[in-house]
Amino acid sequence: MRLHGRGKAAIVVFVVVLILDQLSKWQINSHIPLIGSQYGSYPYGGIGVFENFFGIEFSISHVINYGAAWGVFADAQVYLLGLRIVLILGMFTYGLFFNTNEKWVLPIALILAGAVGNVLDFFVYGHVVDMLNFYFWGYDYPVFNLADSAVFLGVVWLSLTTLCTRPTEPLESP
C-alpha cells in the first residue's frame, strides 16, 4: 500500500499532535503542582496566561481526570479504557480500509491522535492530565488538554465537511 498526499499528511498530523500532547502533559505533570495544592499561585492554582481579555481568563493548571469528558464515568475507569480502545481500533480500521472520502482523512487523524493521547495517559500516569483552564465571562469551563482539543477540532472539521459537501448522486424518491 502506497500513501499519497493526504495519507502522508494524516500520518504527520497524527504524530505531531500526539508528540505535542504527550510533551505538554509531561511538562505539566513534572513542573506544575496540582490545582488546589498548597502551591497554587494564580487565582486558579496555575500559571496565568491572560486575565480579563474581553471577559475571558486563561491559565495553565494541573488537573487530574479519571473519567471521560468533564470527569464522567470516573468510577468506571477500566471499562472506559476498554471502550476507548475499541473505538480507536474501529475508527482506525474505518479510516484505513473503508473510508472513501479523501476529505475525511485529516479530521480522522486528528480524532485518532487525541484519543490515543488520552489512552496513553492511562498507562503513563493512571489518569488523564488536563491543563488548559478557561473562564468565559465568569463561567469556569472544564479544564482540558491538547488531545481533547484535537478530538474536538477533528469532530467539527468532519461535521462541517459532511454538512458542506453536496451528494454526488441525486437521491431517489420512493
- The residues that are catalytic are 130, 148
- The span from the CA of 21 to the CA of 88, in Å, is 17
CB atoms within 10 A of CB 86: 10
DSSP 38-67: TT--STTSSEEEEEEETTEEEEEEEEEE-S
From the centroid of its chain, how far is CA 107?
Answer: 12
